């Protein structure tokens, strides 16, 4: 919260220049259903820390959490500064007609556009934490079992309903041959022979999402898994192969425990494939060669990047989480949340005396003025005085 | 339009704009352009705003050169990956933040400081490794023309492209997809830009405006205060986004303020202001007429003379201004300074807080308890610049 001093030039030497972190005012936070507590409360923490008042709109899809938050939060937080609003897309639409000083939205790119358009009417700044299809490139030069462990863990975590989960794999047919048995072995190890009875595998949030995901099981061929149970909203940890780029499973963010593998012949082809599509929120590259990992990093763009692992960086408060392009704008976590919800106000405190030193900037101007101005403005360091 | 943007995007995809050496090279070429063609650039700005070349230099060119030098010095460090603190889970890993270019950036300029407001963002966009489409304001015609002429002579012609045109061309341009849009101008168009950007989920930077209040406390050195206000207000004939737009002060101070500003105006611009090389003109007839209309029904304490043929409006001060009148409804952007009397600092704060957040806010007082503590007054006053005159501690 402390003011950040700014370095001065010759004309502002006697002044105090600094950046103040101030609240924006009234903040609207619209939260999603996949990590309903975390993705609602972490932004809230930042908004409050920055001194704002908050209107919170938890997701109506994660009904249990919505109910608890609406009940519990007013018991702990100042009710005049802060409110929970409940409702579906219609109510959210109405909410968006009001003027806020900042809007923080986590959700899909489609709704992200709606939020930003509504914000534009009031010139309200926004942070949009969106999503996309996060590519996962697996090089020929790597240990299939290690890769399988890591990819499977991050893919099937929360039944795949994670914005930064690896969405699809890009690898050569040869690598695919080695990866499939490794993935099967990992899945059995994590969830047992009957994953549906494992206490460590999540379920799909609701019928609508379940139906959508079940339809995706028809794409390509099922190499692993493929079972589903409507009464349980269960979808088995699945791997699809022989998937075409045009099929639905490669057109939308999967957001479920289904991992398609698309074949490419080289890292260059993988990069080309990735760059033809929207910038993703996360991007993964697995390779024993740091050169390959670096090439992937340099020649693509994504919100975040991980080499040889999954989204572990989400646990690090020293790095921000945010998207680029269709995967979002703005970022947060740790201090970045505080900065997101603060207006950084430039301030200059000048002495009211010592006017003689400021005289030089007043007209009428002469050549002498110009000389001094050139010299003064150019001096960013102290050394000239 | 679509083809132009596509061409620039192809150039970006070639990867040419990314290496540090290329960026530094382009920035150095830009500096050479400014230095070698200084005369042409100053002449263009001077023609657009009836500004002396000396003032065009000190108000625009000097800032551009400073920015380029600053960039050249610091860029090598800025482009490097920044390692961050790790936790137990990531102990064995390398964790860092790597700045990368966004892609194709659109920069839309304004007409009041037509050169710096387009080149300064351009410097940053180039430094960050992007390709850029530059759209100077059509109102500052001469600068728009000179920028279109000079940039291709010094910079990469496929990566940095100037597109000139009016509302129609800009609207077409805004339909295209960019990776960032940087707009300087008014709030009405700002909304249009952001709405167009929303269709593509393009992040924007909007440098807009507003009515920047200027509070004068009774406890201050009025001589100095009035000199500083006169300087800030009438520079560029009031056509500055961060100029003090209007004054708030106790009614008893008005006549003194008027007198001192009048004297200062004489000192700065001479007896015959029209002849002063340091006093500019209004950009065009439409704005000239707009500003004139703000004077209707107002008490003109001094000034008020105009000359349509040269788009001249004298430095003007209005007193006892009614907040409901037109001059207090829109950003003035001209050499007209209304004084709105208030009872005290608390009333001034209420007045300011009832209105839209301004770009700049000025407070003049010896009493540093008056403006400084945010718990005292600055809650909900949010602005970019906040100037205070306080005793030297």
Q: By mean pLDDT, which of B66-80, B94-108, B140-154, B359-373 is the weakest?
A: B359-373
Within a domain: A376: no
- From A197's Cα to the closest Cα of chain B, the distance in A is 29
SS3 content of chain B, % helix, strand, coil (to 5): 45, 15, 35
Give the domain-ending residue among A294, A315, A336: A315
* Distances from the Cα of B332 to the Cα of B237, B241, B245, B302, angstroms: 11, 10, 7, 17
**Residues recorded for chain B:** 393
Within a domain: A377: no
Within a domain: A307: yes
Within a domain: A60: yes
Residue B361's CB: how many other CB atoms inside 10 A? Answer: 26
Say if residue A184 is in the same domain as residue A292.
yes
CA end-to-end span of chain B: 57
Q: Does the beta-carbon distance from A363 to B95 stay under 8 Å?
A: no
Q: How many domains does chain A have?
A: 2
**Closest CB to B390 among A123, A130, A352:** A352
Mutation pick from B16, B95, B201, B244 vs chain A, by most beta carbons of A within 10 Å, is B201
Q: Is the peptide bond before A364 cis (omega within 30 degrees of 0)?
A: yes
pLDDT score recorded for residue B344: 92
Residue B379 predicted with pLDDT over 50: no
pLDDT score recorded for residue B91: 86
Q: Are A353 and B391 in contact (CB under 8 A)?
A: yes
Residues 305-334 of A with CB under 8 A from B: 305, 309, 312-313, 315-320, 324-326, 328-330
Mutation pick from A101, A333, A362, A370 vs chain B, by most beta carbons of B within 10 Å, is A362
Q: Which of B157, B200, B210, B149 is nearest to B178 (CA)?
A: B200
pLDDT digits (tens, 9 = 90+) for B260-314: 999 999 999 999 999 999 999 999 999 999 999 999 999 999 999 999 999 999 9
Q: Does the beta-carbon distance from B208 to A365 stay under 8 Å?
A: no
Q: Does the beta-carbon distance from A370 to B58 stay under 8 Å?
A: yes
Query: What class is the B213-389 domain?
Result: alpha beta
Long-range CB contacts (within 8 A, 24+) of B288-292: B288/B313, B290/B334, B291/B332, B291/B333, B291/B334, B291/B335, B291/B336
**Closest CB to A373 among B58, B191, B231:** B58
pLDDT score recorded for residue B387: 43
Where does residue A363 rank: exposed (0-12), middle (13-18), buried (19+ CB within 10 A)?
buried
Say if residue A105 is in the same domain as residue A145.
no
**Closest CB to B54 among A346, A348, A365:** A365
What whole-number percentage of chain B has pLDDT above 90?
88
Query: In chain B, how many H helices and how many E strands?
Result: 13, 16
Say if residue A200 is in the same domain as residue A66.
no
Q: Which residues of A touch B201 (CB under 8 A)?
A: 109, 112-113, 116, 128, 130, 325-326, 328-329
Complex prediction ipTM: 0.92
Q: Does the beta-carbon distance from B199 to A117 stay under 8 Å?
A: yes
CB–CB contacts below 8 A, A to B: 167
Torsion angles phi and psi, residue A197, rounded to 5: -95, 0
Q: What is the CATH number of the domain that holds A339?
A: 3.40.605.10
- From B260's Cα to the closest Cα of chain A, the distance in A is 15
Provide the pLDDT confidence category of residue B393 given band limits of 50, 70 and 90. Answer: very low
Question: How far is A233 from A206, CA to CA, in rounded Å?
Answer: 7
pLDDT digits (tens, 9 = 90+) for B213-236: 999 999 899 999 999 999 999 999
Within a domain: A30: yes
- From B139's Cα to the closest Cα of chain A, the distance in A is 24
Within a domain: A382: no
Q: Which of A110, A116, A156, A114 is nearest to A132 (CA)?
A: A110
- From A32's Cα to the closest Cα of chain B, the distance in A is 19
Q: Which residues of B touch A275 (CB under 8 A)?
A: 13
Identify the helix (H) or strand (E) that includes residue B316.
Answer: strand B316-319
Q: Which residues of B touch A112 (CB under 8 A)?
A: 201
| Residue B311 zone, left/alpha/beta (φ > 0; ψ -120 to 50; rest) | left
Say if residue A116 is in the same domain as residue A250.
no
Q: Does the beta-carbon distance from B90 to A130 stay under 8 Å?
A: no
Within a domain: A23: yes
Say if residue A162 is in the same domain as residue A213.
yes
Q: Does the beta-carbon distance from A352 to B220 stay under 8 Å?
A: yes
Residues 44-73 of A with CB under 8 A from B: none
User: What is the pLDDT averaged over residues B4-11?
Assistant: 97
Q: Does the beta-carbon distance from A347 to B386 stay under 8 Å?
A: yes
Higher-scoring residue by pLDDT: A371, B323: B323
Say if residue A37 is in the same domain as residue A85.
yes
Say if residue A212 is in the same domain as residue A336.
no
pLDDT score recorded for residue B88: 86
pLDDT score recorded for residue A9: 73
Q: Does the beta-carbon distance from B391 to A116 stay under 8 Å?
A: no
pLDDT score recorded for residue A352: 75
Higher-scoring residue by pLDDT: A315, B252: B252
User: What is the pLDDT averaged over residues B363-377?
Assistant: 56
Q: What is the CATH number of the domain that holds A168?
A: 3.40.309.10
Say if residue A109 is in the same domain as residue A143.
no
Q: Does the beta-carbon distance from A329 to B201 stay under 8 Å?
A: yes
Mutation pick from B203, B212, B352 vs chain A, by most beta carbons of A within 10 Å, is B203
pLDDT score recorded for residue B375: 30
A355 touches chain B (CB under 8 A): yes
Query: In chain A, how many H helices and how many E strands?
Result: 12, 20
Q: Which residues of B touch A343 (CB under 8 A)?
A: 382
Domain B1-208 fold? Aldehyde Dehydrogenase; Chain A, domain 1 (3.40.605)
Question: How far is A213 from A152, CA to CA, in rounded Å?
Answer: 18
User: What is the pLDDT averaged over residues B71-75?
Assistant: 97
Within a domain: A47: yes
- From B382's Cα to the closest Cα of chain A, the distance in A is 7
pLDDT digits (tens, 9 = 90+) for A346-366: 998 887 777 777 777 888 887
Say if residue A80 is in the same domain as residue A155.
no
- Taking CA–CA distances from B371, the nearest residue in chain A reads A349
Say if residue A241 is in the same domain as residue A140.
yes
Residue B83 predicted with pLDDT over 60: yes
Q: Where are the beta strands (DSSP E) in B160-240?
A: 160-162, 180-184, 204-207, 213-216
Question: How far is A232 from A170, CA to CA, in rounded Å?
Answer: 31
- Please give chain A's pLDDT, 385 residues, in tens: 888 888 777 667 667 888 999 999 999 999 999 999 999 999 999 999 999 999 999 999 999 999 999 999 999 999 999 999 999 999 999 999 999 999 999 999 999 999 999 999 999 999 999 999 999 999 999 999 999 999 999 999 999 999 999 999 999 999 999 999 999 999 999 999 999 999 999 999 999 999 999 999 999 999 999 999 999 999 999 999 999 999 999 999 999 999 999 999 999 999 999 999 999 999 999 999 999 999 999 999 999 999 999 898 898 899 999 999 999 999 999 999 999 999 999 998 887 777 777 777 888 887 777 777 767 665 543 332 2
Residue B377 predicted with pLDDT over 60: no
Domain boundaries, chain B: 1-208, 213-389
Catalytic residue set of A? 129
Say if residue A262 is in the same domain as residue A225.
yes
Say if residue A50 is in the same domain as residue A103.
yes
- Taking CA–CA distances from A334, the nearest residue in chain B reads B85
- The residue range of the domain holding A68 is 4-131+328-344
b/e burial code for range A149-167 (CB count within 10 A of at least 16 → b) = bbbbebbbbbbbbbbbbbb
- Taking CA–CA distances from A14, the nearest residue in chain B reads B392
- From B361's Cα to the closest Cα of chain A, the distance in A is 10
């Amino acid at each position: 919260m402390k003011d950040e001093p700014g370095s001065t030039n010759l004309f502002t030497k006697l002044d105090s220049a600094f950046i103040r972190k101030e609240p924006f005012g009234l903040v609207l936070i619209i939260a999603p259903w996949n990590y309903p507590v975390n993705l609602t409360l972490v932004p809230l923490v930042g908004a409050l820390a920055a001194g704002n008042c908050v209107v919170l709109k938890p997701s109506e899809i994660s009904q249990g959490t919505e109910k608890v938050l609406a009940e519990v939060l007013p018991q702990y937080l100042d009710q005049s500064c802060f409110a929970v609003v409940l409702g579906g897309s219609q109510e959210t639409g109405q909410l968006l007609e009001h003027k806020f000083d900042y809007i923080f939205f986590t959700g899909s790119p489609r709704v992200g556009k709606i939020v930003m358009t509504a914000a534009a009417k009031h010139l309200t700044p926004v942070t949009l934490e969106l999503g996309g299809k996060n590519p996962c490139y697996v090089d020929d030069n790597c240990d299939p079992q290690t890769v399988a462990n890591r990819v499977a863990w991050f893919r099937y975590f929360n039944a795949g309903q994670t914005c930064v989960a690896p969405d699809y794999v890009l690898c050569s047919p040869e690598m695919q041959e080695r990866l499939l048995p490794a993935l099967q072995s990992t899945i059995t190890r994590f969830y047992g022979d009957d994953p549906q009875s494992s206490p460590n595998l999540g379920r799909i949030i609701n019928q609508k999402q379940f139906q959508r995901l079940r339809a995706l099981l028809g794409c390509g061929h099922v190499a692993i898994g493929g079972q589903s149970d409507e009464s349980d909203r269960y979808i088995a940890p699945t791997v699809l192969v022989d998937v075409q780029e045009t099929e639905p499973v490669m057109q939308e963010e999967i957001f479920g425990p289904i991992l398609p593998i698309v074949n490419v012949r080289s890292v260059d082809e993988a990069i080309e494939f990735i760059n033809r599509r929207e910038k993703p929120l996360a991007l993964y590259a697995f390779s024993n060669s740091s050169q390959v990992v670096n090439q992937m990093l340099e020649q693509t763009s994504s919100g975040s990047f991980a080499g040889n692992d999954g989204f572990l960086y989400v646990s690090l408060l020293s790095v921000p989480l945010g998207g680029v392009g269709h995967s979002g704008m703005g970022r947060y976590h740790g201090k970045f949340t505080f900065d997101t919800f603060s207006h950084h106000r430039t301030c200059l405190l000048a002495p009211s005396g010592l006017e003689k030193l400021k005289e030089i900037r007043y007209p009428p101007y002469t050549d002498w003025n110009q000389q001094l101005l050139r010299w003064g403005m150019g001096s960013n360091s102290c050394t000239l005085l | 339009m679509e083809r132009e943007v596509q061409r620039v995007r192809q150039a970006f995809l070639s990867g040419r704009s990314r290496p540090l050496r290329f960026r530094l090279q382009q920035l150095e070429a830009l500096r050479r352009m400014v230095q070698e063609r200084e005369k042409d650039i100053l002449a263009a700005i001077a023609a657009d705003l009836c500004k002396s070349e000396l003032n065009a230099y000190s108000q625009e060119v000097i800032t551009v050169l400073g920015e380029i030098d600053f960039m050249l010095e610091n860029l090598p460090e800025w482009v490097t990956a920044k390692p961050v603190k790790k936790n137990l889970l990531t102990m064995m890993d390398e964790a860092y933040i790597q700045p990368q270019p966004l892609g194709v950036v659109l920069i839309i300029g304004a007409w009041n400081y037509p050169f710096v407001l387009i080149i300064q963002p351009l410097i940053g966009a180039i430094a960050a490794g992007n390709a850029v489409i530059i759209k100077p304001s059509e109102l500052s015609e001469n600068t728009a023309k000179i920028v279109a002429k000079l940039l291709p002579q010094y910079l990469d012609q496929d990566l940095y492209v100037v597109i000139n045109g009016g509302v129609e061309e800009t609207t077409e341009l805004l339909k295209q997809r960019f990776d960032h849009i940087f707009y300087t101008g008014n709030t009405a168009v700002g909304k249009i830009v952001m709405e167009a950007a929303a269709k593509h989920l393009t992040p924007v930077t909007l440098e807009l405006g507003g009515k920047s209040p200027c509070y004068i406390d009774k406890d201050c050195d009025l001589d100095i205060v009035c000199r500083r206000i006169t300087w800030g207000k009438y520079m560029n004939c009031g056509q500055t986004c961060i100029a003090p737009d209007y004054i708030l002060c106790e009614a008893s101070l008005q006549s003194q303020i008027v007198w001192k500003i009048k004297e200062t105006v004489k000192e700065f611009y001479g007896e015959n202001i029209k002849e002063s090389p340091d006093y500019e003109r209004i950009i065009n007839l439409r704005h000239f007429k707009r500003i004139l209309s703000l004077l209707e029904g107002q008490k003109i304490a001094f000034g008020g003379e105009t000359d349509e043929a040269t788009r001249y409006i004298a430095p003007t001060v209005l007193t006892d201004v009614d907040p409901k009148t037109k001059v207090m409804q829109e950003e003035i952007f001209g050499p007209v300074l209304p004084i709105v009397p208030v009872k005290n600092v608390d009333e001034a704060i209420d007045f300011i807080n009832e209105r839209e957040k301004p770009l700049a806010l000025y407070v003049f007082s010896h009493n540093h308890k008056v403006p400084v503590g945010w718990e005292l007054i600055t809650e909900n006053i949010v602005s970019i610049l906040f100037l205070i005159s306080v005793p030297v501690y």
